[in-house]
C-alpha cells in the first residue's frame, strides 16, 4: 500500500489539476457565447450570397469567369481548418482523421493532392503525411475578415494559375456545445446550379451592370465569406468542445479525489491500528 505522504501528495496534485480544468471551462464558456453569436450572424449572409451567386451563374452559357471553369480534376487542394490549441477532446483528431481518409480515397483519382492548413493542430497532423501547400497558424484567437480575404485570394490565384484544379474545404461546423459536424465543401470551381434547381419558380432578372461584371465581384467575395464562416464555425466548435472536455475532466478529477481520500483514510486507519498493536504488545511484554 502507498504511504500516507505519497497519497496526500497525489490528492493535492489532482486538486490543483481540477482547479485548472475548471478555470479553462469557465474561460471557454465565456468565449463561446461571443463565438456562437458571430456564427449565427454570419450564416444568413453566407447563405444568401450563395443563392445570389447561383441565380447569377445558373443557366448562363459558357464560363463567364475563371472560377466557374470546369477542368479535368488532376490536382486537388484540401483546405483544413483546425484549432491552434489542444485540450478540446476529439475536436481536432476526428477532423484530421476524416481528412486523412478522404485523401486516401481520392489518391487514385488525382495526380497531385496537397493540403493547406488553417490552425496549428492540422499542420502538426498533416505535415508528416502529405505536402503542405501553406500553413496559417495563430490567426484563430480573433478571426477577422481581412485574414480570410487574404487566404481566399491566395487560393483563387493558385486556382487561376493552374496550381490545382479543385479546392475542397474541411472544417468543423458548429451545431451544439457538445457536438460539431465534420463538413466538406467544394470551394473551386464554383458549382453553378440551374435556376430551376435554385428556386421552384425561376425569375428572369435584368442585370446592370452585366452578369459577367457582377460575377467578377461576387465570386471572389463568396470564397472569402465561405473561408471566414468556416473559421468562425471552427472557433465556436473549439470552445464548445473544450468546455465539454474540461467539464468531463473536472468531474473525473473529483471522482479521483474521492477515491484517493478513501484510500488515504484507510491507510491512516491501518497505520493507527498498527501503532496501537505495537503499544499493546510492548505493554504486555513489560507486564510479563
pLDDT digits (tens, 9 = 90+) for 244-269: 999 999 999 999 999 999 999 998 88
- Please state the pTM of the whole predicted model: 0.85
For residue range 6-33, list pLDDT tens digits in order.
999 999 999 999 999 999 999 999 999 9
Q: Where in the chain does DSSP place strands (E)?
A: 75-81, 112-118, 131-136, 166-176, 179-188
Write down how long the chain is. Answer: 288
Q: Which CATH class is domain 4-22+248-287?
A: mainly alpha
Establish whether 96 is a catalytic residue.
Answer: no
| pLDDT value of residue 102 | 96
Q: Which residue has the higher pLDDT, 206 or 200?
A: 206
Cα–Cα distance, 241 to 93 (Å, whole number): 12
Per-residue pLDDT, 194: 44
4-22+248-287 and 35-244, same CATH topology: no
Q: What is the mean pLDDT of residues 68-74?
A: 83
Beta bridge pairs of residue 131: 114
Please state whether 185 falls in left (phi above 0), alpha (psi between -120 and 50) or beta. Answer: beta
On the question of pLDDT at 283 being above 80, the answer is no
> Which pLDDT score, from 0 to 100, does residue 195 have?
43
The architecture CATH gives domain 35-244: 3-Layer(aba) Sandwich (3.40)
Three-state DSSP at 76 gives: strand
Q: pLDDT by residue (tens digit) across 263-276? A: 999 988 888 888 88
Q: What is the pLDDT of residue 209?
A: 75
pLDDT at residue 196 tops 60: no
Q: How far apart are CA 103 and CA 109, in angstroms?
A: 10
Instruction: Tell which residue, 35, 26, 27, has the closest CA to residue 231.
Output: 35
pLDDT attached to residue 62: 53
Catalytic residue, chosen from 88, 116, 177, 225, is: 88
What's the pLDDT at 198?
Answer: 46
Predicted confidence band at 110 (pLDDT cuts at 50, 70, 90)? very high
Tell me, what's the pLDDT at 286? 77
Q: What local confidence, expressed as pLDDT, does residue 226 receive?
A: 94
Taking 80 as the threshold, does the pLDDT of residue 122 lie above it? yes
Q: Are 79 and 113 in contact (CB under 8 A)?
A: no
Domain boundaries along the sequence of the chain: 4-22+248-287, 35-244
The pLDDT value recorded for residue 190 is 82
Amino acid at each position: 500500500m502507498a504511504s500516507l505522504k505519497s497519497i496526500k501528495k497525489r490528492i493535492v496534485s489532482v486538486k490543483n489539476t481540477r482547479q485548472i480544468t475548471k478555470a479553462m471551462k469557465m474561460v471557454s464558456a465565456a468565449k463561446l457565447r461571443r463565438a456562437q453569436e458571430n456564427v449565427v450572424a454570419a450564416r444568413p449572409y453566407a447563405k444568401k450570397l450563395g443563392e445570389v451567386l447561383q441565380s447569377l451563374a445558373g443557366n448562363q452559357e459558357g464560363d463567364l469567369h475563371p472560377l466557374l471553369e470546369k477542368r479535368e480534376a488532376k490536382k486537388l487542394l484540401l483546405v483544413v481548418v483546425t484549432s491552434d490549441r489542444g485540450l478540446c477532446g476529439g475536436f481536432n483528431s476526428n477532423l484530421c482523421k476524416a481528412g486523412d481518409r478522404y485523401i486516401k480515397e481520392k489518391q487514385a483519382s488525382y495526380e497531385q493532392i496537397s493540403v493547406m492548413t488553417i490552425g496549428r493542430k492540422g499542420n502538426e497532423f498533416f505535415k508528416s503525411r502529405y505536402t503542405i501547400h501553406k500553413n496559417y497558424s495563430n490567426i484563430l484567437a480573433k478571426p477577422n475578415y481581412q485574414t480570410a480575404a487574404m487566404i481566399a485570394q491566395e487560393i483563387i490565384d493558385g486556382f487561376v494559375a493552374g496550381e490545382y484544379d479543385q479546392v475542397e474545404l474541411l472544417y468543423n461546423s458548429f451545431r451544439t456545445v457538445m457536438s460539431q459536424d465534420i463538413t466538406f465543401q467544394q470551394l473551386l470551381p464554383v458549382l453553378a446550379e440551374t435556376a430551376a434547381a435554385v428556386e421552384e419558380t425561376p425569375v428572369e432578372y435584368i442585370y446592370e451592370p452585366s452578369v459577367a461584371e457582377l460575377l467578377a465581384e461576387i465570386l471572389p467575395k463568396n470564397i472569402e465569406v465561405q473561408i471566414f464562416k468556416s473559421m468562425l464555425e471552427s472557433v465556436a466548435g473549439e470552445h464548445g468542445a473544450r468546455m465539454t472536455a474540461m467539464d468531463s475532466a473536472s468531474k473525473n478529477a473529483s471522482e479521483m479525489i474521492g477515491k484517493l481520500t478513501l484510500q488515504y483514510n484507510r491507510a491512516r486507519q491501518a497505520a493507527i491500528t498498527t501503532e496501537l498493536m505495537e503499544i499493546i504488545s510492548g505493554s504486555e511484554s513489560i507486564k510479563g
